[in-house]
Structure 1
């Protein structure tokens, strides 16, 4: 849910609507950051002291050279303040004020970082990924499991990363433009009651976000 700006001489950016899910999509990004830090250390060690018993680590783009790590760290820094917002940050209300909707924040993010996150998911999920690297990915994926009987594997971590990238890269629509304009003009910390048209735009956008994060299953809707 976003708009692009790619003027010559300026860094391409994307205006993004981010829903407050109490930080649900932050653990996969934090795990990814730890994984990429480990790979960066491995890559650096092999460059400084090439191993004799094997070939030095050669990571695919954008994992190599800490490109993905930098993008993920910037995204985490930008996204974290949008999560677990209390009422003191201002509530997003139904038109009649009867109930609050899940808060939405407007962010302007580097388009390259969003694309890099998507490419990172593709690289980590590639069936041809180096077997030892894939083993490291699996090890970090397991840390996301809350039930030892149901471990999280590489495919699930990759799926979660890809879905975060998808949420940040949903195509812009009239509905998202309406919401961005209204939210951007609301003073911080002040409640905002949606109009009927804005509530319809919110519901349309929520459906798209739920389809992306929940893989289209009504049983896995993340918010309403």
Structure 2
């Protein structure tokens, strides 16, 4: 079997996820609200006529994929209220000398089909708000962004949510490298109560991966990957 054939047979990937806490879970919430609104428009029986979503969005495909990913990512994120009450992050990751602590990473398994669904959804949504602003789908997207407004504060712009979805997908779909393989091996061998202490090799791998993740996540997040 060729390498390309082997790649085609992969149904799930081991992925490293940084603990971004409320920042990541809020992005998931916003995207879910947007996709929920599209699903409601598609399923509305009393609407003026059939509202047909394109394939990545139709039949709750992207919404279901997002929710499966939410279920996987939620246990990897430490809510701010836990930290405010003195709780520690769920996994401590420290440097070789033990004197400084990194933002934790968790290794999880995500279905490739779900990652592909998020990528396809971001592409269709982005194309719509960029070039098809007079369509019913663009109107539904605008309604979805209103639904995604935080409890306090204005609703995000459609482009903002779509960009965050694309960045989320990029964060979860970083190309596999020797760095990711080394860190996944270390995390898979770690227990659940003791800190994970990196050696000099895995420390260097962490630093390189943190740089890649910071670039992908954007928004000045680089400083958040190291304490």
Aligned to 1:104: 105
Distance (Å, rounded) in 1 between the aligned partners of 2:221 and 2:91 = 27
Distance (Å, rounded) in 1 between the aligned partners of 2:91 and 2:26 = 25
**Distance of aligned partners of 1:139 and 1:39 in 2 relative to their CA distance in 1, 3 Å threshold:** closer
1:158 aligns with 2:162: yes
> How does the TM-score come out when normalised to structure 2?
0.82
Structure 1 segments unaligned to the other structure (5+ residues): none
How far off is 1:44 after superposition?
1.9
1:96 aligned counterpart, secondary structure? coil
Distance (Å, rounded) in 2 between the aligned partners of 1:99 and 1:140 = 42
The match for 2:136 among 128, 132, 153 is 132
RMSD: 2.3
Distance (Å, rounded) in 2 between the aligned partners of 1:13 and 1:122 = 21
The match for 2:63 among 54, 57, 69 is 69
Aligned to 1:28: 27
**Distance of aligned partners of 1:130 and 1:116 in 2 relative to their CA distance in 1, 3 Å threshold:** farther
Aligned to 2:225: 223
What pairs with 1:1-224 in structure 2 (closer than 5 Å)?
12-46=11-45, 51=47, 54-84=48-78, 86-87=87-88, 89-126=90-127, 127-128=131-132, 131-142=135-146, 143-144=148-149, 147-148=153-154, 152-214=156-218, 219-221=220-222, 222-224=224-226
**Distance of aligned partners of 1:70 and 1:176 in 2 relative to their CA distance in 1, 3 Å threshold:** same
Could you report, residue by residue, the CA deviation over 1:145-186 in whole angstroms, capped at 9, with x for unpaired residues? 6654xx521111100000000001000111111101111100
| Aligned residue-pair number | 208
Structure 2 segments unaligned to the other structure (5+ residues): 1-5, 80-86
Could you report, residue by residue, the CA deviation over 1:177-222 in whole angstroms, capped at 9, with x for unpaired residues? 110111110011211110011110000000000010117xxx4424
1:16 aligned counterpart, secondary structure? strand
1:24 aligned counterpart, secondary structure? helix
> How does the TM-score come out when normalised to structure 1?
0.83
